[in-house]
Amino acid sequence: MAVKMTTHVLDTASGKPANGMRIEFYRVLPEGIELINHGVTNTDGRLDAPLNTGHDFDEGTYRLLFYVGDYFASVGHADAKKFLDIVPIQFVVDKPGAYHVPLLVSPWSYSTYRGS
């Protein structure tokens, strides 16, 4: 079964998808971290392709970095970078399947879950 890694970001301060947020996707290895892919969200708050396109997505530990401070600054939010700057989400892939890790974020808080 192919494993696919996707995400999307919702700006809970505006109630809209986060358009233009930079995201980086890493594999966490004993010797450090390896950048797998990066991208910028579209008008739907999603990336145009899965984050693991062109890369194996095996069992292991992975990290997403969401550049929320830069995003909120780019949309002119008065509280940009006053609390959150980069939101890291580190998670484990324990078996093949689709992994969808969304982010709901404001300049002051965030939440995530394993979506479908």
Domain made up of 4-105: CATH architecture: Sandwich (2.60)
> pTM for this one?
0.94
Convert the pLDDT of each residue in 5-48 to its tens digit: 999 999 999 999 999 999 999 999 999 999 999 999 999 999 99
Domain ranges of the chain: 4-105
Contact 66, 87 (CB under 8 A): yes
Convert the pLDDT of each residue in 71-99 to its tens digit: 999 999 999 999 999 999 999 998 877 89
Residues in contact with 50: Cβ distance below 8 Å, sequence separation at least 6, in sequence order: 4, 5, 6
